């Protein structure tokens, strides 16, 4: 069997495991949709100041929520499921088979990207059909941003398992890191550029992902291409750091004692 | 051909020496039993052979290759059944076996492997709906699916009910018939006795005995035990052979059981004494094992440092 076929089989396996697990599917899908409905209802009719432009709240919120969904499908999902599989010995067992590590990682990442794409389409369609947002202006930029964001947050999810001692601690650590950053990064309402929170958030990749997504949707028609190079570069830097951390420290075996 | 050569193997975790100079060889086509109490170093040893850990000193070859650098090529030839490993819960038995088949260059047919471990009726069932024993059997199936030359079975029947154990033993016997080399670790002496061609007993990181089950038993042959209940009113000093008494039970340890028994019973008959609960026992392999390992376990005291890696 060729290497590409092995990797594709892994993607297929991960997809089956994901869709057959109601809890995983629930968190990945219902969370963003519930947030969408709740916050869109809460801020109904209000305007959002995003950098130099003012748009409807929904026009800000939908791209932000696309980013949120991708982060959930990639970062949270991978950090939790990999630390769980490490704990119960599934990873160790795989490590003893001829399956190459890269093929396993490709399966996990590929599957998360597929979920991200489905989520992106679903959230965007929901936004257009139910909340009447402007249709995304720059499709290429949107695709590239979702792809970069997906890969970066997959890498960060894998790197996150390094600091998770065991699966029981997984949810607390992952959410303890993820949710505060998600909040200060302006996922649910824009955080003004000049505020202290924004300055802190700028260090992390979440705000840049949301910015890049907003720029690709570009409801105010302020960009010609929809690309924001700085945002993508900062995200990529975080991704590269995560990859290096994984190469150095990723564990396949449970920590005991 | 020799499947495995281990020579002067050493491995320490921090200050704790888990393996302290272990040497043994495993011949091709034999079932080799690695025995020892928890914390004896047998899992560390086997995990070095499996390529999970790096040794500190000594030399190891598995199928002619150093497992530390054998990589994918070696893993294609070796099947592993780990001590505690879950199986992905959301796939069906058949799907999982098919997935694992894809890892190997020349796997065995899925149906054959599923039948070998007795899961044919459960082939379409999701893994999470299987019982613990069935999941373990599936685990064994996944270790065999690549048609390996060498199979490591780390405590394969722990937690099995007696009939499941018998079934698993038959699986191991079948694999042996196919010419596979099998390295087995177990706590159960009867398992080692039934399955293993050769046994190596490890305690405190060292080999304390090695041989066929029969030669191991022969080590203590000279101490056959004769026991009986000491009848009331019988003076111990009058019995013509030396014995010890505890809780009213007399024990004679002898290397010439026929002679001793004759002396004892001739004397008893002449005295008109019936010896209640008279029995003659050859030490079981279990006794031998306990004798070999007991001392070390006691001497070792706190073994948590090593145990953590077991």
Residue of A nearest to B48 (CA): A96
Residue B300 has a pLDDT of 45
Residue B295 has a pLDDT of 57
Domain ranges of chain A: 3-249
Contacts of B140 (CB under 8 A, 6+ apart): B81, B117, B153, B156, B168, B171
Q: Does B94 touch chain A (CB under 8 A)?
A: no
Q: Does B187 touch chain A (CB under 8 A)?
A: no
Residue of A nearest to B83 (CA): A89
Check CB contact under 8 Å for B80 and A96.
yes
- Which residues in chain B touch residue A95, judged by CB atoms under 8 angstroms apart? 52
pLDDT digits (tens, 9 = 90+) for B210-230: 888 888 777 665 578 888 998
Check CB contact under 8 Å for A256 and B102.
no
DSSP per residue over chain B, as a string?
Answer: -EEEEEEEEEEEETTEEEEEEEEEEEETT-EEEEE--TTSSHHHHHHHHTTSS--SEEEEEETTB-TTT-HHHHHTTEEEE-SS----TTSBHHHHHHHHHTTSSSPPPHHHHHHHTT-GGGTTSBGGGS-HHHHHHHHHHHHHTT--SEEEEESTTTT--HHHHHHHHHHHHHHHHTT-EEEEEES-HHHHHHH-SEEEEEETTEEEEEE-HHHHHHTTTT-EEEEEE--TT--GGGSSS--EEETTEEEEEES-HHHHHHHHHHHHHHHT---TT-EEEPPPHHHHHHHHHHHHHHHH---HHHHTT-
Residue of A nearest to B140 (CA): A93
Compute the distance between CA of residue A171 and CA of residue A164 in angstroms, rounded to an integer: 9
Residue B308 has a pLDDT of 37
Of A21, A89, A96, the CB nearest to B90: A21
Residue B220 has a pLDDT of 60
- Which residues in chain B touch residue A88, judged by CB atoms under 8 angstroms apart? 85-86
Check CB contact under 8 Å for B80 and A97.
yes
Residue B116 has a pLDDT of 84
Rounded to the nearest angstrom, the minimum Cα separation between B103 and chain A is 5
Q: Does A168 touch chain B (CB under 8 A)?
A: no
The list of chain A residues with pLDDT below 50 reads 257
Q: Does A1 touch chain B (CB under 8 A)?
A: yes
Rounded to the nearest angstrom, the minimum Cα separation between B155 and chain A is 15
Nearest Cα to B35, choosing from B191, B175, B162, B140?
B191
- Which residues in chain B touch residue A99, judged by CB atoms under 8 angstroms apart? 103
Q: Which two tokens stand for residue B103?
A: 């890892």
Of B51, B88, B100, the CB nearest to A17: B88
pLDDT digits (tens, 9 = 90+) for A104-145: 999 999 999 999 999 999 999 989 998 888 999 999 999 999
Rounded to the nearest angstrom, the minimum Cα separation between A158 and chain B is 19
Query: Would you state the CATH architecture of domain B2-77+149-218+287-307?
Result: 3-Layer(aba) Sandwich (3.40)
Compute the distance between CA of residue A99 and CA of residue B103 in angstroms, rounded to an integer: 5
pTM of the shown model? 0.83
Rounded to the nearest angstrom, the minimum Cα separation between A245 and chain B is 21
Check CB contact under 8 Å for B52 and A253.
yes
Compute the distance between CA of residue A78 and CA of residue A75 in angstroms, rounded to an integer: 6
How far is the CA of B161 from the CAs of A5, B131, B165, B168, B189, in angstroms?
40, 12, 6, 10, 16
Q: Does B91 touch chain A (CB under 8 A)?
A: yes
From the first residue on, what is the mean pLDDT of each consecutive set of 10 residues in chain B (310 residues)? Answer: 93 91 94 87 91 93 93 92 84 94 92 88 92 86 92 84 82 86 87 90 88 78 80 82 85 86 90 88 73 57 39
Compute the distance between CA of residue B93 and CA of residue B166 in angstroms, rounded to an integer: 22
What is the ipTM metric for this complex?
A: 0.86
Check CB contact under 8 Å for B304 and A257.
yes
- Which residues in chain A touch residue B51, judged by CB atoms under 8 angstroms apart? 96
């Amino acid at each position: 069997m060729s290497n590409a076929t092995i990797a594709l089989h892994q993607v297929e396996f991960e997809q089956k495991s994901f869709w057959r697990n109601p809890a995983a599917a629930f968190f990945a899908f219902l969370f963003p949709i519930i947030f969408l409905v709740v916050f869109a209802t809460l801020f109904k009719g209000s305007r959002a100041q995003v950098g130099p432009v003012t748009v409807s709240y929904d026009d800000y919120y939908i791209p932000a929520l696309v980013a949120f969904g991708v982060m959930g499908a990639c970062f949270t999902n991978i950090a939790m499921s990999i630390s769980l599989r490490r704990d119960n010995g599934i990873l160790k067992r795989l490590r003893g088979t001829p399956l190459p590590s890269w093929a396993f990682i490709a399966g996990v990442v590929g599957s998360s990207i597929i979920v991200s794409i489905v989520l992106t389409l679903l959230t965007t369609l929901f936004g257009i059909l139910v909340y009447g947002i402007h249709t995304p202006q720059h499709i290429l930029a949107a695709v590239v941003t979702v792809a970069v964001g997906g890969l970066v947050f997959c890498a960060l999810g894998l790197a996150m398992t390094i600091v998770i001692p065991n699966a029981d601690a997984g949810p607390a650590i992952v959410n303890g890191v993820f949710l505060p950053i998600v909040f200060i990064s302006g996922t649910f309402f824009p955080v003004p550029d000049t505020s202290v929170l924004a300055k802190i958030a700028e260090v992390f990749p979440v705000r840049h992902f949301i910015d890049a997504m907003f720029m690709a949707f570009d409801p105010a028609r302020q960009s010609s291409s929809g690309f924001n190079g700085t945002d993508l570069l900062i995200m990529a830097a975080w991704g590269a750091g995560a990859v290096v951390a994984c190469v150095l420290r990723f564990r396949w075996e449970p920590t005991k004692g | 051909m020799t499947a495995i050569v281990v020579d002067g193997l050493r491995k320490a975790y921090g200050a704790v020496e888990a393996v302290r100079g272990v040497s043994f060889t495993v011949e091709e086509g034999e079932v080799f039993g690695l025995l020892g109490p928890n914390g004896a170093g047998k899992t560390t040893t086997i995990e070095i052979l499996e390529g999970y850990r790096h040794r500190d000193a000594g030399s190891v070859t598995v199928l002619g290759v150093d497992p530390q650098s054998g990589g994918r090529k070696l893993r294609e030839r070796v099947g592993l059944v780990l001590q505690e490993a879950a199986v992905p819960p959301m796939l069906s038995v058949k799907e999982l076996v098919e997935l694992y088949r894809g890892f190997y260059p020349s796997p065995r047919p899925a149906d054959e492997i599923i039948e070998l471990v007795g899961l044919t009726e459960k082939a379409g069932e999701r893994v999470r709906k299987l019982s613990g024993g069935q999941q373990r059997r599936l685990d064994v199936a996944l270790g065999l699916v690549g048609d390996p030359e060498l199979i490591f079975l780390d405590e394969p029947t722990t937690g099995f009910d007696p009939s499941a154990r018998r079934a698993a033993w038959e699986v191991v016997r079948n694999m042996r018939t196919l010419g596979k080399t099998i390295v087995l670790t177990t706590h159960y002496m009867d398992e080692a006795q039934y399955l293993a061609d050769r046994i190596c007993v490890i305690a405190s990181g060292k080999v304390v005995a090695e041989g066929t089950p029969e030669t191991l038993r022969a080590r203590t042959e000279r101490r056959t035990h004769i026991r009986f209940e000491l009848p009331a009113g019988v003076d111990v000093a009058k019995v013509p052979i030396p014995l010890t008494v505890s809780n009213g039970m007399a024990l004679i340890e002898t290397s010439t059981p026929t002679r001793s028994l004759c002396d004892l019973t001739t004397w008893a008959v002449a005295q008109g004494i019936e010896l209640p609960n008279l029995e003659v026992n050859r030490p079981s392999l279990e006794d031998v094992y306990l004798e070999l390992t007991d001392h070390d376990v006691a001497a070792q005291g706190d073994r948590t440092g090593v145990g953590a890696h077991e």
